[in-house]
Amino acid sequence: MDAAKDILEHLGVNSIAEMEVNENYTIEVDGYDDLTIEKIGEDRVSVGHYHISRGDLMSDPEVVFVVDNGEWKAVRYTQHPSVFS
Q: How does residue 14 score in pLDDT terms, banded at 50, 70 and 90?
A: very high
Tell me the mean pLDDT in the region 58-71: 90
Beta carbons within 10 angstroms of residue 62's beta carbon: 18
Q: Which residues pair with 37 in a beta bridge?
A: 25, 47
Q: Which 3 state secondary structure label does DSSP give 70?
A: coil
Q: Which residues on adjacent β-strands are paired with residue 71?
A: 68
Strand segments (E) across 7-55: 24-27, 34-41, 44-53
**Prediction pTM value:** 0.84
Give start and end residues of each alpha helix (H) in 1-85: 2-10
